[in-house]
Chains A and B, each alone.
Chain A
Amino acid sequence: MTMTDIMPPGLALKKVDERIMTLNVGPQHPGSGHMRIVVQIDGDYIVACDPDPGYVHRGEEKMAEYRNYITNVPHLERPVIHDSCNVLYPYVLGAEEILGIEVPERAKYVRVICSELNRCIYTMYWLAIYGIFLGHSTMFMWPAGDRELLIDLMEKVSGARVTHAHFIPGGVRNDLPANFEDVCLRQVNYFEKRIKEYAAVFYDNPILISRTQDTGILSRENAIRYGTTGSVLRASGVDYDLRVKAPYDVYDELDVHTNVMKEGDSYARSKVPWLDMIESCNIIRQALQKMPKSGSVRTKLKPNPKTKGPATVYKRVESGRGSLGCYIVSDGKTEPYRVKMSVPSFRNLLAMPNLLIGEKLGNMPSVYWSLNYWPVEADR
């Protein structure tokens, strides 16, 4: 007997009467991403919703058990290649802790800069899709184009445009290129000027506001109860940002402002990441100023680092989507015994069925994507 016999494929949605229509939104659907949402609609209202992720499940956690601490670096960033520095960050922090590696001061600043750049790169991609989900094609093209500014910066830093694999246990792979500070400052300043222009065409657009305000309201209590994180949580009025509340690396030396909105609707959830991008620009400027001008960026490692015995570590960082945790269990070998990524998309997914039930079908894309959900990351 196999698992299939116990749990036949299909959905737990109840058998329903004739007037209710079951829609398979995805995985081949322009408004679903790499996942399937099974919704049942009564007229224009969603009465039942069952998200079905897993179409891009790649077994990253299983793969991590077969590779040593260094070779895990390039593939663990795959779940969110647009946010590849942040998705790798907790793993690297955890590996440093259990392997007992000290990180040079300059490397910590480089990490902060790369992490914030990646957060903007991811959020711009997310914003582009949010725009096209609402039928706003200009808001699809502008962020997708302006994102190039920061991608070029990251290319200068790491040599790769999206999959950087730049953070490694012990620091970062390479030092910043010469003259990077000036270029970075210039690009980031222009980037900030550009994204502030989005308010006129998108965030202050009366149609957008009337469409997304008061839809998919996630109350403060429910946001906490569902364990949501990141922008979803902050849009529901919970002031929680790991960069402030539990600073890692050098975030405690930087002045980070947390953007919180009280409404908890789709509009707030779409606006908080945009405010976070402006905040990221501030953080980058601060970090560029405070960074030691020279010094090592990497601690030399032994060829196959291993822990001194069994150890566990749980580290979390604030990624572009929220708190991203990594739980590493080690048994003293060169490979980790178990690596678990606690990803924000997976946590925010739980809010989706609860938010969509009772909504209109036309609100489905905006509510769905405002959850800052990245299907590939949730599937790992």
Chain B
Amino acid sequence: MSAIAPKFKLSEFIKSLLDNIFWIVLLVSLIGIPAIQVILFYIEMPVINGELLTPFLAMTWLADPSRSLPILKAFMATDMFRVMAFPGFGFAALIAAGTIFVERKMLAKLQLRVGPFYCGKIEGILQLMGDGLKLISKEIIIPAKADKPIFWAAPVIFVATAAAFVALIPVAPGWVVADVDLGLLGVFAVIGFFPIITILSAWSANSKFPFIGGIRALFQMVSFEIPLILSLLGVVILTGTLNLSEIAASQSSFPWIIFLPVGAIVFFITMLAELERIPFDLPEAESEIVAGWLTEFSGMMYGLVQLGTYLKLYAFAGLFVVLFLGGWNGPMVVPPFPEEILTDGIVMGPITAKFPGLPLFDQQMLNGTLWFVLKTVGVIFFILLPRGVFPRIRIDMLLSLGWTKLIGLAFVNIFIALGLLYAGVLGPGGLQ
């Protein structure tokens, strides 16, 4: 009898394993396989060996590796994949999770601590997962006098809005969820949603500290939206387009930050304020108003808001990269896909494995993604850094900063852009 599990019996352990296997098989066959079938109905299937793949055939051919790759590739071409996985939600959530981990470890090193350490053996890498599980298992407490429908909806809408923002960010040439011509206007529209959600949730909680926090968030976001929009106009003037993919593509030779450093600085500061990061975390100022507009959220509702916050963080960092740092542009560092795998397959002794359908991603896209991620991580690093260095500022200081200095600087930036345009340095006939 071990001390850890005093009632351990091998027979019961085996029985529990068998039980688990039974339930897994049952659930997969009753729910999983039909779900895959349903998904396959909506995917435009490839033609393999001269035969159009139908969902009925797909199930039989899934086991064949030579035929599973084309199906995967077909799936990757769908909008669903883009929304859920690669340039969309899944990719952003992955970067957000990495951001949280890096933030905690970096802050810990800055403050002479170790940070998360035990969970997951290696430097506490699974700490975030543990925190997520904890949040999921927590009871959700709703204030008695809250406006319940709005209160419930607020975190969901928050995440949805953050995800909509993520959808507008191009990651690699052609790899963007929503490639709209007025992409930048779309960004402004989506950013405009956040204060509304914040004030709605704060109002619906029917509690004093959330209310003060919500009012503060409203002040802060509305007053910083103006310098934010103005600081981006310089880029729009120089590129002549609002499409984010085109703006990124226009910086193939040099990023705009070289010509518009003032705009980049203004945008970075307003970004910190929109993200409610220290030193602008007034809406969540813990020593003054407990947790601001998040005070009454508990359990996974709070977790959703945090997820939305970090998605927003990624999206803003991505926007900064697209607008000022050249997006996906960068020297080609990814090696070309080895041709012999395509022609000869992989020879492993007597077995030769051929993979029709390779490569999954072309070299251009991989290289673009790599550069985009590198730059985004760099920007995120600079967004995280002030947290270890600065105290929180006060709401009146914040508002005077936003309404006077930043707006002024944003106009200076616009004049710089116009000057460059009319002097013929940039634009038609200029460098580009």
Whether B397 contacts A31 by the Cβ 8 Å rule is: no
Contact indicator A211/B288 (Cβ below 8 Å): no
> Are A21 and B393 in contact, with the CB atoms below 8 A?
no
A interface size (C-beta, 8 A): 31
A138–B388 touching, CB < 8 Å: yes
Contact of A44 among B285, B391, B396 (CB under 8 A): B396
CB < 8 Å: which of B111, B289, B392, B394 contacts A142? B111
Contact B394 A211 (CB under 8 A): yes
- B11 adjacent to chain A (CB < 8 Å): no
A134 touches B397 (CB 8 A): no
Residue of B with least CB distance to A146? B112
> Residues of B contacting A7 with CB < 8 Å?
none
B125 within 8 A of A: no
Q: Cβ of B296: which chain A residues have Cβ within 8 Å of it?
A: none
Which residues on B sit within 8 Å (CB–CB) of A142? 111-112
User: Does B281 sit at the interface, judged by CB under 8 A?
Assistant: yes
Q: A361: which of B288, B290, B387, B397 is its contact (CB, 8 Å)? A: B288
Q: What separation, in Å, do the CA atoms of A306 and B289 have in the docked complex?
A: 52
Contact B390 A205 (CB under 8 A): yes
Smallest beta-carbon distance A193→chain B, Å = 14
CB < 8 Å: which of A29, A131, A137, A360 contacts B387? A137
Interface pair B392/A135, CB less than 8 Å apart: yes
Residue of A nearest to B396 (CB): A360
Contact with A along B90-115 (1 / 0, CB 8 A): 00000000000000000100111100
Chain A residues with Cβ below 8 Å from B393 are: 207, 210-211
What is the minimal beta-carbon distance from B222 to any residue of chain A, in angstroms? 16
CB-CB contacts of B272-305 with A at 8 A, as 1s and 0s? Answer: 0000001101100111111000000000000000
Chain A hits for B281, CB < 8 A: 135
The answer on a CB contact under 8 Å between B391 and A205 is yes
Inter-chain CA distance A365–B287, complex, in Å, is 6
For residue B287, give the distance in angstroms from its CB to the closest CB of chain A: 3
Interface residues of A in 1-53 (CB under 8 A from B): 21, 23, 29-31, 44
> A369: nearest residue on chain B (CB-CB)?
B287
What's the dominant secondary structure at chain A's contact region?
helix
Partner of A141, one of B111, B208, B288, B396: B111
Interface residues on B, range: 20 to 34
> Distance in Å from the Cβ of A45 to the closest Cβ of chain B?
10
In B105-144, the 8 Å CB interface with A consists of 107, 110-113
What CA separation (Å) do A145 and B286 show in the bound complex? 22
Q: What chain A residues lie within 8 Å of B209 (beta carbons)? A: 23
**Does chain B have a CB within 8 A of A363?**
yes
Residue B389 is within 8 A (CB to CB) of chain A in the complex? yes
User: Are B287 and A23 interface neighbours, CB within 8 A?
Assistant: no
Looking at the complex, which one of B110, B285, B290, B396 makes contact with A135 (CB distance below 8 Å)? B285
Chain B proximity of A309: nearest CB distance (Å): 52
Kindly provide the distance from the CB of B117 to the nearest chain A CB, expressed in whole angstroms. Answer: 15
Tell whether, in the assembled complex, residue A362 and residue B394 are in contact, meaning their CB atoms are under 8 Å apart.
yes
CB neighbours (8 Å) of B111 from chain A are 137-138, 140-142, 145
Contacts of B391 in A (CB 8 A): 131, 134-136, 139, 205, 207-208, 211
Asked if B257 is an interface residue, CB under 8 A from chain A, the answer is no
Q: Determine the distance from Cα of A137 to Cα of B391 in the docked complex, in whole angstroms.
A: 8
Please indicate the chain B residues that have their CB under 8 angstroms from the CB of A44 in the complex. 395-396
User: Once bound together, how far apart are the Cα atoms of A143 and B279, in whole Å?
Assistant: 20
Given contacts A210-B397, A211-B397, contact A141 B392 (CB under 8 A): no
A301 to B392 alpha-carbon distance, docked (Å): 54
Contact A30 B208 (CB under 8 A): no
A252 to B392 Cα, complex, angstroms: 43
Residue of A nearest to B209 (CB): A23
- Interface set, chain A 324-380, CB cutoff 8 A to B: 360-365
Give complex CA distance A362, B113 in Å: 29
CA distance A263 to B107 in the complex (A): 34
The complex places the Cα of A31 from the Cα of B110 at a distance, in Å, of: 24
Chain A residues near B278 (CB, 8 Å)? Answer: 135, 137
A133 interfacial contact with B, CB 8 Å: yes
> Are B107 and A30 in contact (CB-based, < 8 A)?
no
**Closest approach, in angstroms, between the C-beta of B116 and any C-beta of chain A?**
15
As a 0/1 sequence over residues 119 to 148 of chain A, the CB contacts with chain B under 8 angstroms (1 = contact) are 000000000000111111111111001000
Contact of A365 with B390 at beta-carbon distance under 8 Å, contacts A135-B281, A210-B397, A360-B396 already known: no
Residues of A51-78 contacting chain B, CB below 8 A: none
Query: In chain A, what residue has the closest Cβ to B112?
Result: A145
Give me 4 other A-B pairs in contact (C-beta within 8 A), A137-B388, A207-B390, A360-B395 excluded.
A131-B391, A135-B281, A137-B111, A141-B111
Can you sample 22 A-B contacts with CB below 8 Å?
A31-B286, A44-B395, A44-B396, A135-B278, A135-B281, A135-B287, A137-B107, A141-B112, A141-B113, A142-B111, A145-B113, A201-B389, A205-B389, A207-B279, A210-B393, A210-B397, A211-B394, A211-B397, A360-B394, A360-B396, A364-B288, A365-B288
Q: Interface on A for B, CB 8 Å cutoff?
A: 21, 23, 29-31, 44, 131-142, 145, 201, 205, 207-208, 210-211, 360-365
